[in-house]
Amino acid sequence: MQYHQIAVIGMSGRFAQSETLLDFRRVLSRKQDCIAEVSEKRKRLLGLEPDADCIQLGSIEDIDCFDHKYFGIPSKEADFMSPEQRLGLELATEAVLNAGYSLEQFRGKNCGVLVSSSEIAYNKERAASTSLSVLGNMKLMICGKIAYFLDLRAANAMYDAGCSSSLAAIHDACMKLMTEEWEYALVGGISLFTDIEDKKKQKYQTMGLLSPEYRSKAFDEQADGTSAGEGAAFVLLKRLKDAERDGDFIYGVLTSGAVNGDGARCSKVTMPSPEAQRQVIERAWRDSGNPELTEIEAHGIGNKIGDSVEAEALFDNLRAAGLDKKEIYLSAVKTNIGHLYEAAGVASLVKVLLGFRYDEAYPLANFQQANALIDFASVGLAPLTETRHFSPGSHRVAGIDGFGISGTNVHILVENYANKQVQERDDAPSLVKLSAQSEESFYGNSERFAQALRDGKTDYAAAVYTMNTARDDGAVRRLVYCDSKQDLLERLDMMRPTTEPQPKKLVFVLKQEDCEQAQCGAYETLFPGMRSFWKETDIPDLTFKCAAYRYFTACGMTPDYVLADKAGKAVVQYAAGRRSIEDLQAAANQTDNDYTKVVKQLEKLAKDNNLLVVDFGHKGALRQLVCLEGVQVLSVARPREMAGLFVDWYNNGKSIDWEVFYQEKQPRVCLPGYAFEKCSHWITPEKKQAERVSGVTPSVVPPTSAPAAPSPAEPIQLPHLAQPIKMPHLAQAPAQNEQMKPEPPINGDGKLIQVEQFLEKLWMKILNFSDSIAYDEDFFYLGGNSLLIEMMADPIEQQFGIDFDIYEIYENETIEKLAHRILETAS
Please tell me which residue in 68, 171, 299, 618 is annotated as part of the active site: 299
Kindly name the residue from 339, 618, 681, 729 that is annotated as catalytic.
339
DSSP string, 264-290: T-SSSTTS--HHHHHHHHHHHHHHTTS
From 34, 54, 111, 163, active-site residue: 163
* 700, 129 Cβ separation under 8 angstroms: yes
**CB of 78 closer than 8 Å to CB of 131:** no
Tell me how far apart the alpha carbons of residues 229 and 238 are, in angstroms, rounded to a whole number: 29
At a CB cut-off of 8 Å and minimum separation 6, what does 432 contact? 464, 467, 468, 479, 480, 482, 488
Beta-strand ranges (E) seen in 616-703 are 631-635
Residues 6+ apart with CB under 8 A from 168: 159, 161, 259, 345, 402, 404, 408, 410
Q: Give the integer Cα–Cα distance in Å for 515 and 133.
A: 71
Catalytic residue list contains 163 = yes
| Cα separation values, 454 from 97, 314, 488, 489, 757, Å | 19, 39, 11, 9, 58
Determine the Cα–Cα distance for residues 270 and 266; give it in Å rounded to an integer.
8
Cβ burial of 60 (10 Å; 0-12, 13-18, 19+) is buried
- How deeply is 623 buried, as exposed, middle or buried, from its count of CB atoms within 10 A (0-12, 13-18, 19+)? middle
Check if the beta carbon of residue 539 is closer than 8 Å to that of residue 533: no
- Amino acid found at 657: D
CA 546 to chain centre: 40
Q: What percent helix, strand, coil does the chain show, rounded to 5?
A: 40, 15, 45
Question: How many CA atoms within 13 Å lie on the side-chain side of 159?
Answer: 33
Cα–Cα dist 147/723, whole Å:
13
Is residue 786 within 8 Å of residue 716, measured between CB atoms?
A: yes
Based on the residue annotation, tell me whether 729 is a catalytic residue of this protein.
no
Which residues are within 8 A (CB) of 100 and not within 5 positions of it... i.e. 6 or more apart? 9, 10, 248, 249, 466, 469, 470, 668, 669, 670, 671
Q: Are 606 and 626 in contact (CB under 8 A)?
A: no
The secondary element (H helix, E strand) that includes residue 757 is: helix 752-767
Strand, coil or helix: 218: coil
DSSP for 287-338, written as a single string = HTTS----EEE----SBHHHHHHHHHHHHHHHHHTT-TTS-EEEE-THHHH-
Q: Quick count: other Cβ atoms within 10 Å of Cβ 269?
A: 10
Task: Please give the C-alpha separations between residue 366 and each of 31, 39, 303, 803, in angstroms, as whole numbers.
Answer: 8, 22, 13, 72
Residues in contact with 489: Cβ distance below 8 Å, sequence separation at least 6, in sequence order: 450, 453, 454
Give the span between the Cα atoms of 331 and 388, in whole angstroms: 11
* Active site (annotated) includes residue 339: yes
Cα–Cα separations (whole angstroms), residue 59 to 79, 97, 338, 418: 21, 25, 9, 35
In 3D space, the residue among 643, 651, 613, 736 whose CA is nearest the CA of residue 431 turns out to be: 643
CA distance 161 to 139: 14
Catalogue the active-site residues: 163, 299, 339
